[in-house]
Amino acid sequence: MSRVAYVNGRYLPHTGASVHIEDRGFQFADGVYEVCAVRDGRLIDEHPHLRRLHRSLHELKMDWPVGEPALRHIMRETVRRNRVTNGLVYVQISRGVAQRDHGFPAPGTKPTLVVTARAIAVEKYDQWAKKGVAVITLPEARWARCDIKSTGLLANVLAKQQAREKGAFEAWFVDRDGFVTEGSSTNAWIVDAKGVLRTRPLSNQILPGVTRGEILPLCRQLGIEFDERPFTVEEARNGREAFLTAASIGVMPITAVDESKIGSGAPGPVAIALGETYWSSRSDG
C-alpha cells in the first residue's frame, strides 16, 4: 500500500507529494512541528500536543494553516488513509512560500501544512525498553529557544548521529555548568542516589515535552518523590536509574551514560512502573 500525505488541502501518494522550492521550511527551517503517538488507532495526548503547537506558532508569530478542528480531522484522516494502528502522526507547518528573503513574507502568505503518518513496530520499542538503552553526552549546541518545537533541528540531528555512531540510542546535551538539558529528541530523567526522581524544570532550554507533562502527575499517583531540578552527568552516573521520555517512545530506561553503567545496569523499577502506568492510563481513554 502506498503511503499518503496531506499537503495543503490534498491527500497525495508520497511519491507525488511535495512542497515548493521556495518554501520557507526548506529555505530557512522557518517552521514548527508536532509528533503524536498512535496506539490502537487512537491519537495519544492529542490535546496537549495541539496546545504546544498553538504555543510554538504563537511564539514564532505564525498563523494556523487551518482551524484546530480541521487539523484534528486531517490528522485522523491521515492515520486512517495510511491504516496506522500503532505509529506516529507528524504535523509540519512552515511560514509558507515566498521569494527568498530573511524577513517575514507579506501578510496573508499561506502557511504550508503537511501531515504524514507511519506505522512503527511497537514490539521493537518494547524490546529496547526491556533491555534499556545507552546515551552519550555532548556539549549543548542549540539555540536559545529550545522551548519552541521548531523544525530547525540541525544540532539535534548531528547529536543523534553521533549517538548512533557510538552505538547509543540518544545523546544528552549538557549545558556550560555541567547540567543535562535534554536529549536530541527526548526529555531526560534520573532517579538520583537518594532515590528522588529528577528532571530539569521548564525553561527556554528544553522542550516542554508532552510525555514529561503527563508523567509528573503519574508520579504523584504512584507515590514517587520527584523534584524538577537540573542534574549533572556525574549525578546521573551515580544515580539509581535514568530514563528518557518522548511521544515516540513513552518511557525508555537508560542503562549506560557514556559507557558508565547506571544502577544495576538493568532498567530500574521507577522507569518500568512509569512506562507501564503511562501506556495503561492512555489506553483507558
Residue numbers annotated as active site: 149
* 207 forms part of the interface with ligand PDD (CB under 6 A): yes
Number of residues that bind ligand PDD (CB under 6 A): 15
* 209 forms part of the interface with ligand PDD (CB under 6 A): yes
* 116 forms part of the interface with ligand PDD (CB under 6 A): no
Residue partners of 137: CB distance under 8 A and separation at least 6: 171, 172, 173, 174, 180, 233, 257, 258
* 246 forms part of the interface with ligand PDD (CB under 6 A): yes
Nearer to ligand PDD by C-beta: 35 or 98? 35
Q: Which stretch binds ligand PDD (CB under 6 A): 5-13, 229-237, 243-251, 277-285?
A: 243-251
Please report, as residue ranges, which positions from 162 to 191 form the binding site for ligand PDD (by CB under 6 A).
182, 185-187
Other beta carbons less than 10 A from residue 86's beta carbon: 15
CB contact at 8 A, 102 and 28: yes
* 248 forms part of the interface with ligand PDD (CB under 6 A): yes
CB of 103 to ligand PDD, least distance (A): 27
* 137 forms part of the interface with ligand PDD (CB under 6 A): no
CB contact at 8 A, 88 and 247: yes
* 211 forms part of the interface with ligand PDD (CB under 6 A): yes
